């Protein structure tokens, strides 16, 4: 039995990741904003829902195929965008994308990714989404739209919950800087983790690959690429900008970070084809509700057609079954695949996706549901507080 095969669930992979990564890097993945209330609630909220099984229904064949962002998906899960992935493993985004493709799932690349979107598209034929921001320099956003179209990306996810960076206190305590700097303290911490790829942090390999062409424009000034991109976040972004982006892109577009039925409706009216209910994995507004608790109202508000993706807190295949029964098209995961990546590179992501898929199919089988299209509100019940 290999080391990764000894992982039975997301929690095991998380522990493996914790052992392999220097503490500041692990905390960067694992942590949330302020008191991490939303971070904890995102996952805990799933336990408030009970699954109500049907019995004596033929479950010898379970149908799980669906479509997300207009692309086929083997089952209703996709991989959320996460920045700076090379910090967690030298094989970075490509390892995650390849594992996703092998499992028939959509992969999303972050604007803050460490692999150029063109390189990802060239190396990877699977369905892919690019996570975009509306920057102060709308020209930079328009440039991303053109590059994504040219490279063959299938959808865009516009992140709207980040007008400023959330307050991640674990990163302050650990002294993590972005990009990580080689100080005496960090070298000591890194030296204790020889299985983790220190070279990935040094030299030209570690950068924000999708904006690194801007470095020429910065060469004369003291600003780093990280400062440059930080200064691009625009607090004045509004619905007219969403309308503009939808027109410009004219293909599947989800608004990532929507939490309310009103904003979900407004997203669709502004030209989006879907919403990702998300609080950024509890990394932005602490105290925001858990995405799973918002699904039913959001689905009610947007009707049947748009993608409603529940993003945040999914740690079991059964969580996906609950989200679907509440009205989601699919779920999306961030930390779980990063734990897998840190624990063992591409095979680690593979292991994670295998485990979640097994859990998902086993849950459907035990719930007596042989087709995800048959899942409905009667399969799930929210327990009253303390019940």
Q: Which residues are annotated as a binding site for glyoxylate?
A: 28, 133, 168, 280, 283
**Interface with ligand FNR by CB under 6 A: which range of 51-59, 205-213, 280-288, 317-325?**
280-288
Q: Distances in Å between the alpha carbon of 310 and those of 51, 99, 146?
A: 17, 21, 28
For residues 368 and 59, what is the distance between their CA atoms, to the nearest angstrom?
6
Q: 223-240 as b/e, with b when 16 or more CB fall inside 10 Å?
A: bebbebbeebebeebeee
Rule CB under 6 A: say whether 280 interacts with ligand FNR.
yes
Q: How crowded is residue 165: how many other Cβ atoms within 10 Å of its Cβ? A: 12
DSSP 283: T
Residue 179, preceding bond cis, omega within 30 degrees?
Answer: yes
Q: Which of 10, 25, 33, 42 binds ligand FNR (CB under 6 A)?
A: 42
Q: Distances in Å between the alpha carbon of 114 and those of 84, 216, 269, 315, 327?
A: 6, 18, 33, 25, 34
Site pattern 174..213 for ligand FNR (x: CB under 6 A): ----------------------------------------
Is the Cβ of residue 186 or residue 279 nearer to ligand FNR in the bound state?
Answer: 279
Is the Cβ of residue 279 or residue 363 nearer to ligand FNR in the bound state?
Answer: 279
Please indicate whether residue 280 is annotated as part of the active site.
yes
Site pattern 95..134 for ligand FNR (x: CB under 6 A): ---------------x-x------------------x---
Rule CB under 6 A: say whether 370 interacts with ligand FNR.
no
Name which of 16, 84, 73 is nearest 347 in CA terms: 16
Rule CB under 6 A: say whether 322 interacts with ligand FNR.
no
Could you tell me which residues are annotated as the binding site for FMN? 81-83, 110, 131, 159, 256, 278, 311-315, 334-335
Rule CB under 6 A: say whether 159 interacts with ligand FNR.
yes
Q: Distances in Å between the alpha carbon of 316 and those of 30, 278, 319, 333?
A: 17, 17, 5, 11
What is the nearest approach in angstroms of ligand FNR to the Cβ of residue 376?
25
For residues 248 and 280, what is the distance between their CA atoms, to the nearest angstrom?
25
For residues 384 and 387, what is the distance between their CA atoms, to the nearest angstrom?
5
E strands within the chain? 49-51, 66-68, 71-73, 77-79, 106-109, 128-132, 155-159, 253-258, 274-278, 307-311, 330-333, 380-382
**Interface with ligand FNR by CB under 6 A: which range of 54-62, 69-77, 258-266, 312-320?**
312-320
Rule CB under 6 A: say whether 312 interacts with ligand FNR.
yes
What is the nearest approach in angstroms of ligand FNR to the Cβ of residue 291?
8
Rule CB under 6 A: say whether 82 interacts with ligand FNR.
yes
Rule CB under 6 A: say whether 80 interacts with ligand FNR.
yes
Token duo for residue 220 = 């004369």
* Cβ contact 168:38 at 8 Å: no
Q: Which of 89, 98, 103, 280 is catalytic?
A: 280
**Interface with ligand FNR by CB under 6 A: which range of 16-24, 233-241, 258-266, 327-335?**
327-335
Is the Cβ of residue 47 or residue 57 nearer to ligand FNR in the bound state?
Answer: 47
Is the Cβ of residue 292 or residue 369 nearer to ligand FNR in the bound state?
Answer: 292
For residues 331 and 320, what is the distance between their CA atoms, to the nearest angstrom?
6
Rule CB under 6 A: say whether 357 interacts with ligand FNR.
no
Residues serving a catalytic function are 280
Positions touching ligand FNR (CB under 6 A) are 28-29, 42, 80-83, 110, 112, 131, 159, 256, 278, 280-281, 283, 311-314, 333-336, 338
């Amino acid at each position: 039995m290999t080391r990764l095969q000894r992982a039975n669930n997301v929690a095991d992979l998380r522990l493996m990741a914790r052992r392999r990564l220097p503490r500041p890097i692990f905390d960067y993945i694992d942590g949330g904003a302020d008191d991490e209330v939303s971070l904890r609630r995102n996952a805990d909220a799933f336990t408030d829902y009970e699954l109500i099984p049907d019995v004596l229904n033929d479950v010898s064949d379970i149908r799980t195929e669906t479509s997300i962002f207009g692309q086929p998906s083997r089952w209703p899960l996709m991989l959320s965008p996460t920045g700076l992935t090379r910090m967690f493993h030298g094989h970075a985004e490509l390892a995650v994308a390849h594992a996703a493709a092998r499992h028939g799932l959509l992969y999303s690349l972050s604007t803050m990714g460490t692999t150029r979107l063109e390189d990802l598209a060239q190396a990877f034929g699977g369905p892919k989404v690019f996570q975009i921001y509306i920057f102060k320099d709308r020209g930079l956003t328009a440039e991303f739209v053109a590059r994504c179209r040219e490279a063959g990306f299938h959808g865009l996810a516009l992140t709207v919950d980040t007008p400023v960076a959330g307050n991640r206190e674990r990163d302050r305590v650990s002294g993590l800087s972005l990009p990580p700097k080689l100080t005496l303290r960090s070298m000591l911490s890194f030296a204790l983790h020889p299985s983790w790829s220190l070279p990935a942090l040094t030299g030209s390999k570690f950068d924000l690959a999708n904006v690194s062409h801007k470095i020429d424009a910065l060469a004369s000034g003291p600003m780093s690429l990280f400062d440059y991109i930080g200064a691009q976040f625009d607090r004045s972004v509004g619905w007219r900008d969403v309308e503009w982006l939808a027109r410009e892109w004219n293909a599947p577009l989800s608004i990532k970070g929507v939490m309310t039925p009103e904003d979900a409706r407004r997203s669709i009216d502004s030209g989006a084809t879907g919403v990702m209910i998300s609080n950024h994995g509890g990394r932005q507004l602490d105290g925001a509700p858990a995405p799973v608790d918002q699904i039913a109202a959001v689905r009610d508000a947007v009707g049947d057609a748009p993608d409603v993706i529940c993003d945040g807190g999914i740690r079991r295949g059964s969580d996906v079954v609950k989200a679907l029964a509440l009205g989601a098209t699919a779920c999306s995961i961030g930390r779980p695949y990063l734990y897998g990546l840190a624990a063992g590179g591409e095979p680690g992501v593979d292991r994670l996706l295998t485990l979640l898929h097994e859990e998902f199919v086993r849950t459907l089988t035990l719930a007596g549901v042989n087709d995800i299209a048959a899942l409905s509100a009667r399969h799930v019940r929210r327990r009253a507080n303390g019940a």
